[in-house]
Chain A
Amino acid sequence: MIRRGFQAVIRLGHHRVLPGAPHILPRLNRTSAFGSSTDSLVSRFCLEKTDLKDYALPNASWCPDMLNLYQEFLEKTKTDGWIKLPSFKSNRDHIQGLKLPFGLAATSDKSDWRIFTRCLQVEGQGYEYVIFFHPSKKKSICLFQPGPYLEGAPGFAHGGSLAAMMDETFSKTAYLAGEGLFTLSLNIRFKNLIPVGSLAVLNVDVEKIEDQKLYMSCIAQSRDQQRVYAKSSGVFLQLQLEEELSQ
């Protein structure tokens, strides 16, 4: 069921994608459902040559667990097809040269905007995280260490901060796996509290892509998988970004 709020946009999106062609439902083929392959999305997203600061890199606040697992996955980027995603201050930096489709683009473009999960930039204070993505398996792993400014119950991370981290990991996975852009729904079951300053590992999988929607699941647990912190599922709307006409 497509929500009315997004229906007009989807119709517009179809018009932009296939001018003059008959209305075609998105194919189930994950790599080319919407015109851009995962590989081209990844290379545009990752911006190898850039002056922008990448926040998804180790710093002094990272706990030993996080550093070790980070090194493990860094090795896997060389051998097993994993990619470490950069994390810039604003989502605008990730989609340079692209813009939201007609009707959704923001009228003013303030430079002081910051992506929510990079809102607190003093090392170790807020979200410390790095996301690794596997293009062919359509999976992501997020190493997340919540800082003291994310506190809810004393000594533990706020439920909202984990919800945000899950939404953010879903968001990057959905975008690279199939141009997913907006969250349609989020369903989170909290099991255990995450102590502030400890590592939570979020495993995200794309379950299916259907009706212009990406369905994903996530499980957040401790490194040894002995403690499950939360399980969630998310649905994202596919929406193709457009090239900016003038630079």
Chain B
Amino acid sequence: MLRSCVSRLRMLAVLGGPPGVAPLPAKDPWSPRVNPGAGRRERAAKPGCVSGDPRSFSSEVIHMDLSLPNPSWSEDMRLLFDQFMKKSEDGSWKHLPSYKSKFTQRTEDIKIYFPDAKLMKEKLSQAQLFPRSFEEGLGFEYAMFHNCVEDRTVCIFQGGPYLQGVPGFLHGGAIATMIDATLGMCAIVAIGFAMTASLNISFKRPIPLGSVVVINSQVDKVEGRKLFLSCNIRSVDEKTVYSEATSLFVKLDPKTRLT
């Protein structure tokens, strides 16, 4: 199991470009967003690349790993990140890269489950993976680490000012999005391409906007194509439990179409 886990992680990382690629300069959040996907594609286009061909799409985009520290990260967030990177040195933990679009991560799988995806190549230039759709520091700032030995995934998360619900606190929906993203990653590492079937979240305490929290997720049970996962959201010192969640993810059957 360890070998398959490692090979899946290698596949996630294989499309990743060199870490530390300089991020785009921060733009005024109030001005309309220039289509970032198209801009990057033009810059990265190699001679002879056929644009619009979905098979070469992934090679045209700069793979910028967004799960790396940037100026918006608070000190707490950086400290935690460094702690986990240190733990990754002996191989028991692994940092999981994260990109603007899921397309760059799972091209082969996506073609099997979404054969119509090639028809939407126009929209692809605009599409962004939801938690990565924000300017630096304004939305979701997060990094995920996977522990191959204990088979659990940890996400360190800092919620920015655009995730507000009750003034001063994170929106329940933003918390739900991060729980879904973390459990999803845990599921993907465990069994490959899986989708959320159900999500059950219990909110214990409101999370202040701008604070750093740790989401610990793990696989509880596997029954055929069903995966039962759970997670909790705690403060950095682990003394405060903010939320708890359980979920069911289902591994997709390549023979059944989703639409």
Residue numbers of A with Cβ under 8 A of B are 3-6, 90-92, 95, 100, 104-106, 109-110, 112-117, 119-122, 125-126, 148-155, 158-161, 163-168, 171, 181-190, 193, 195-197
Chain A proximity mask over B111-140: 1 for CB below 8 Å, otherwise 0: 001101100100110111111011000110
B105 to chain A, nearest CB (A): 11
Classify the interface of chain A: helix, strand, loop or mixed.
mixed
CB pair A160 B164 closer than 8 Å:
no
Residues of A close to B195: CB separation below 8 A? 153, 159, 190
CB pair A109 B181 closer than 8 Å:
no
* In the complex with contacts A159-B180, A164-B174, A189-B197, A91-B166 CB distance below 8 A: yes
CB pair A163 B173 closer than 8 Å:
yes
Residues of B close to A181: CB separation below 8 A? 166
Query: Can you name 19 A-B residue pairings with CB atoms under 8 Å?
Result: A90-B167, A92-B167, A100-B168, A106-B168, A114-B164, A116-B165, A120-B133, A122-B32, A151-B129, A153-B195, A158-B180, A159-B199, A163-B177, A163-B199, A184-B202, A186-B176, A186-B200, A188-B199, A196-B127
Residues of A close to B120: CB separation below 8 A? 154-155
Name which residue of chain A comes closest to B195, CB basis.
A153
Residues of B close to A158: CB separation below 8 A? 129-131, 177, 180
Residues of B close to A161: CB separation below 8 A? 130, 173, 177
CB pair A150 B198 closer than 8 Å:
no
Q: How far, in angstroms, from A183 to B202 measured CA to CA in the complex? A: 8
CB pair B164 A152 closer than 8 Å:
no
B253 to chain A, nearest CB (A): 15
B99 to chain A, nearest CB (A): 12
Chain A proximity mask over B215-259: 1 for CB below 8 Å, otherwise 0: 000000000000000000000000000000000000000000011
Q: Is B43 an interface residue (CB 8 A)?
A: no
Q: How far, in angstroms, from A119 to B163 measured CA to CA in the complex? A: 7
CB pair A160 B110 closer than 8 Å:
no
